[in-house]
């Protein structure tokens, strides 16, 4: 990810808006954490730590969201969930040469069973969006 000038790249940031997710995942801190850890591993990132948070429900007896942030040597992978809206927002940020962020993105989308995910790819050197795309429901099984 070195620039033509020899300057080190500031990285690529994938921003995910994940809609219509599978029930029973978004409010389960253990499942969400496991998904992010596996996505990080599959993308060849080097995990350095993890912070998790399970929120209290606004209405007793209803699902409540979770947040998971994984520090990686290459930057971070994070997610915040809103089970009451069947939605999650995630990001995969890498400034490393060896990490494959697209692998993490696809794994996260599949595991959340999203019917639609909007992805924005942001170049941190230019501070510009380099592309946006939508991932429809992925039907293939994970290896």
Active-site residues: which are they?
75, 80, 95
The SS3 assignment for 88 reads strand
Q: Map tokens 């995990």 to a residue.
A: 47
| Half-sphere exposure at residue 111, Cβ-oriented, CA atoms within 13 angstroms | 22
DSSP string computed for 12-66: EEEEEEEESPPTTTTT-HHHHHHHHHHHHHHTT--EEEEEEEEPPPSSTTS---E
Half-sphere exposure of 128 (CA within 13 A, CB side): 3
């Amino acid at each position: 990810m070195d620039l033509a000038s020899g300057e080190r790249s500031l990285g690529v940031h994938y921003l995910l808006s994940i809609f219509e997710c599978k029930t029973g995942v978004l409010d389960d801190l253990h499942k969400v954490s496991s998904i992010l850890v596996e996505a990080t591993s599959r993308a060849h990132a080097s995990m350095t730590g993890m912070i998790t948070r399970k929120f209290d429900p606004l209405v007793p007896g209803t699902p409540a969201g979770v947040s998971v942030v994984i520090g990686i040597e290459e930057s971070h992978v994070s997610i915040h969930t809103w089970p009451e809206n069947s939605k999650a927002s995630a990001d995969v940020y890498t400034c490393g040469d060896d990490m494959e962020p697209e692998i993490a993105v696809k794994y996260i989308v599949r595991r959340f069973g999203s019917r639609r995910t909007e992805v924005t790819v942001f170049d941190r050197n230019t501070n510009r969006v380099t592309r946006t795309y939508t991932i429809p429901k992925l039907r293939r099984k994970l290896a």
